[in-house]
Structure 1
Amino acid sequence: MANLSDLPLRPELRGRSAYGAPQLTVTNQLNTNENPYPPSEGLVDDLVAAVRRLATTLNRYPERDAVELRTELASYVSRQTGVEVTVDQVWAANGSNEVLQQLLQAFGGPGRSVLGFTPSYSMHPILAAGTQTEFLDVPRTGGNFDIDVDNALAVIAEKTPDIVFVTTPNNPTGGITPLADLRRIIEAERAVGGIVIVDEAYAEFSDEPSATTLLADYPATLVVSRTMSKAFDFAGGRLGYFVADPAFIEAVMLVRLPYHLSTLSQAAATVALRHAEDTLATVALLRDERIRVVAALGDLGYKVVPSESNFVFFAVPSNVDAHDLWSRFLDLDVLIRDVGVPGHLRMTVGTPAENDAFLVAADKIIGEYS
């Protein structure tokens, strides 16, 4: 058998690691920022009926541009953000990862660069490498891992990146970038002729207004990427989308694969959107649980980064290796995430019972290391 080193792999991919969170079977699985609540019975019934109706058509290609689904997405975004959005401003793909990949294929590539503020979503540099786009790393600062906006503007002016990523709420830290700061970054990037992709995968968990409120001011610069994987109990459905000026949809149509969204993917997402009110009721439960977990961790002596998402990023005791602590949680039947940020771990907010199990483990562990 051949080894990877035996293959004529592109040089910039050599030595890199694939994206991957551990997929382990444990009682308390709190590592991948999924919504722990299953879809409602009504949604499941409607989905089964839709699949049964469409099953006889699977010999035909899906509706290529997913107009019905994009119409439902536009209606949802309009209700959720208060910004009137039309079908021509929305594009959908297989998870927000494919959305971001298509945007990088259209606006990145050899000789071009994308700037990101790290730590942030770990797929951003992977997608950049896959599209031969240089990734420019600008570290976040301080104990809360915020963007130093003045420094960001200076780097944008100096490096003139073709694309800037801003994740808000940020993954893995959970903090937000306020709209006023976003506007400054967007204006700086517009001045150098690039675009800004605001990654709002966790927007429904935050009180901060959506970056879609800025779209009218920056039609040729701003793209807002979102997903149904988190708030919608729909991670297995793999549906992401972006909202932008219609010109951006024209751009990604130049690079998208034909029939990239299957008939069943479109149907499942459309059904989920029609049950949005029931589905999103779990968001309020998770927000309340996040507040409880943050307070309890603080009482136990952990330093917690403020979060407006469905996860909590916290510092481990200074005398402990983060991965060793991650392993100790696993020993106690709690799977959380070591995202590679020294001295920190991330837990996904789960059901009350799962969160209780995490807090019991956190209490036991900090007692062992204190």
Structure 2
Amino acid sequence: MNDRSELLSQLPLRENLRGLSPYGAPQIDVPIQLNVNENTHPLPPVVVDAIAQEVAKAAATLNRYPDREFTELRELLADYLGHSLTKENIWAANGSNEILQQILQAFGGPGRTVMSFGPTYSMYPLLASGTDTTYIAGERAEDFTLSAESAAAQVREHKPNIVFLCSPNNPTGTALGLDVITAVYEAMSEHNGMVIVDEAYAEFSLASTKSALSLLEGRQRLIVSRTMSKAFGLAGARVGYLAAAPEVTDAIRLVRLPYHLSAVTQATAIAALKNIELLLAQVEDIKSQRDRIVARLKELGLKPSVSDSNFVFFGGVEDPHAIWEGLLEAGIIIRDNGIPGTLRVTAGTESETTAFLERLAELLGSQK
């Protein structure tokens, strides 16, 4: 009997999808899961109750299609983002991955290209393949930074139709300066290209870090993508959104599926946004645990990157897989991104962070 991969190869699959593997970190049921950058804090009971009430109201009319324009949700998201944005600047979908996919459907496709700068979010090339958009892998410096000069030069060399800028970057955690985003936008303007700044982790940024939202005014081809999965703790609800010029949201409407955002999803997101202060209070605790991780990793002789996110990317690891396995044996899972000498860990609750740091110290001590 042929195995599944052989059976798959017998199907008339598109050629650019052959040999690819689906995206996904290992799903291993252990007590402390710090590998996929979730918000590990449970939702506050008040927010859970508010969501239940909104969903109950939505349930009474589930025989009808939801608001196709999700108007209330867009208004609340615009209020949350500020920067003089209105609902006309906002679009939402089932997670920021669907937002990025819709952008590629509208502005990418056969004969067009999308560029990003690795190491970065591993879904970008997969989203490109799924929309038959050619992916161009840009480069970062040896320390994983990206300068304005380098980014702009690479854009001018390859002339992509779309550029994804991940800021804060996944997996390295560090945000881009506004000078990098501006330089890339100016270079892309020379051939009418679109620039997308993926700010999935923006709420966790350091105080000195500025959002690309401040650059939107007057830049028609700039899009800022966000998510409610991280800071809002709604990974299971799947809500992502973008801010851009109104004509960009009109372009996305051309490719979105009818009624793509369910009434239950809308109700969940609306309830969360109405209780935003309770949810964002958790962000400060997560940031304190992140900073604690960075400080302790330095004490242990490792090399953590500056983190504007809810995770810490760190180098100086002699045998990453051995450390990963040693943590797993203790019921703790972190992320091995396959980058030599490095690992990545999500900042969890205080107790989760303590368990990780104590076990890591034991493992490093045993290697000496």
TM-score range (shorter-chain normalised) is over 0.9
1:264-343 superposed matches below 5 A: 264-318=264-318, 320=319, 322-343=320-341
1:30 matches 2:29: no
Task: Give the match for residue 112 of structure 2.
Answer: 112
Q: 1:14: Cα distance to partner?
A: 0.9
Task: Give the match for residue 53 of structure 1.
Answer: 57
Task: Give the match for residue 88 of structure 2.
Answer: 88
- Count residues with an aligned counterpart: 362
Q: 1:317: Cα distance to partner?
A: 2.8
Contact 1:316 1:345 in 2 (8 A): no
Larger CA deviation: 148-157 vs 54-63: 148-157
Task: Give the match for residue 156 of structure 1.
Answer: 155
TM-score normalized with structure 1 length: 0.96
Letter in 2 for 1:214: L
Contact 1:50 1:267 in 2 (8 A): yes
Q: Deviations over 1:24-76 (max 9, x none)?
A: 11111101111111111111112111222221211111111111111111111
1:173-188 superposed matches below 5 A: 173-188=172-187
1:137-148 superposed matches below 5 A: 137-143=137-143, 145-148=144-147
Q: 1:316: Cα distance to partner?
A: 4.2
Task: Give the match for residue 352 of structure 1.
Answer: 350
Contact 1:239 1:269 in 2 (8 A): yes
Contact 2:147 2:180 in 1 (8 A): no
Task: Give the match for residue 212 of structure 2.
Answer: 211
Contact 1:114 1:161 in 2 (8 A): yes
Q: 1:324: Cα distance to partner?
A: 3.0
1:13 matches 2:17: yes
Larger CA deviation: 4-13 vs 270-279: 4-13
Unaligned runs of 5+ in 1: none
Larger CA deviation: 31-40 vs 265-274: 31-40
Q: 1:323: Cα distance to partner?
A: 2.5
Q: 2: CA distance between counterparts of 1:245 and 1:32?
A: 31
Q: 1:343: Cα distance to partner?
A: 1.7
Larger CA deviation: 113-122 vs 325-334: 325-334
TM-score normalized with structure 2 length: 0.96
Task: Give the match for residue 233 of structure 2.
Answer: 233
Counting aligned pairs with the same residue, the percent is: 49
Unaligned runs of 5+ in 2: none
Contact 1:229 1:237 in 2 (8 A): yes
Letter in 1 for 2:204: F
Helix, strand or coil: the match of 1:236? coil
Task: Give the match for residue 75 of structure 1.
Answer: 79
Letter in 1 for 2:215: L
Helix, strand or coil: the match of 1:101? helix
Q: 2: CA distance between counterparts of 1:221 and 1:340?
A: 34
- CA RMSD after TM alignment: 1.2
Larger CA deviation: 241-250 vs 178-187: 178-187
Q: 2: CA distance between counterparts of 1:125 and 1:324?
A: 28
Q: 2: CA distance between counterparts of 1:364 and 1:28?
A: 17
Q: 1:184: Cα distance to partner?
A: 1.0
Q: 2: CA distance between counterparts of 1:46 and 1:153?
A: 46
Contact 2:149 2:183 in 1 (8 A): no
1:362 matches 2:366: no
Helix, strand or coil: the match of 1:121? coil
Q: 1:122: Cα distance to partner?
A: 0.9
Letter in 1 for 2:292: R
Q: Deviations over 1:3-32 (max 9, x none)?
A: 211211111111111100111111111011
Helix, strand or coil: the match of 2:312? strand
Contact 1:317 1:369 in 2 (8 A): no
Contact 1:114 1:165 in 2 (8 A): yes
